[in-house]
Amino acid sequence: MLTGLNHLTLAVSDLTVSFSFYRDVLSFTPRARWDRGAYLSLGDLWLCLSLDKASPAQDYTHFAFTLAEADRVSFRNRLQCAGVIEWKENRSEGESIYFLDPDGHQLEAHCGDLASRLRACREKPYRGMEFF
């Protein structure tokens, strides 16, 4: 049986640039690196960077990381100082910063969790929404 998310692998076009971005800008911890890839971690998340042709999503597909509300302003400043591009305005519950990595992968830093999202949805449900 499945018990959770094991790891996330992202194709990257320049391993050195992506490794530096995830380590220096997003504060991932480096674990291993080789000619065509790297392992980094953030909390319980294991991230693999794989040197390959990157094809970022053209839709709403993205990966969201947890961000403490107290760190939101300083995190946004850190992204801006690094020249990181924001790709979307937040329109949902909880503060979010939507930004791109060096290969254009769509990322989000979100202040909140599933419980807070469901509370907000119970107050103002999306069209056709049902709860389980």
Q: Give 58-69 pLDDT, tens digit per residue.
A: 899 999 999 999
Go through 89-101 and write b for each residue having 16 or more CB atoms within 10 A of its CB, e for each that does not: eeeebeebbbbbb
Which of 69, 86, 93, 108 is flagged as catalytic?
Answer: 108
The two structure tokens encoding residue 29: 């911890």
Residues 80-119: tens digit of each pLDDT: 999 999 999 887 888 999 999 999 999 999 999 999 999 9
The CATH code of the domain at 56-132 is 3.10.180.10
Q: Closest Cα partner for 16 from 34, 43, 42?
A: 34
Q: What angle do CA 16, 102, 5 make, to 5 degrees?
A: 90
Task: Report the chain's mean pLDDT, rounded to a whole number.
Answer: 95
pTM of the model: 0.91
Q: Which CATH architecture has domain 1-55?
A: Roll (3.10)
Position 112 scores a pLDDT of 92
Topology alike, domains 1-55 and 56-132: yes
Domain boundaries, the chain: 1-55, 56-132
User: Among this protein's residues, is 108 annotated catalytic?
Assistant: yes
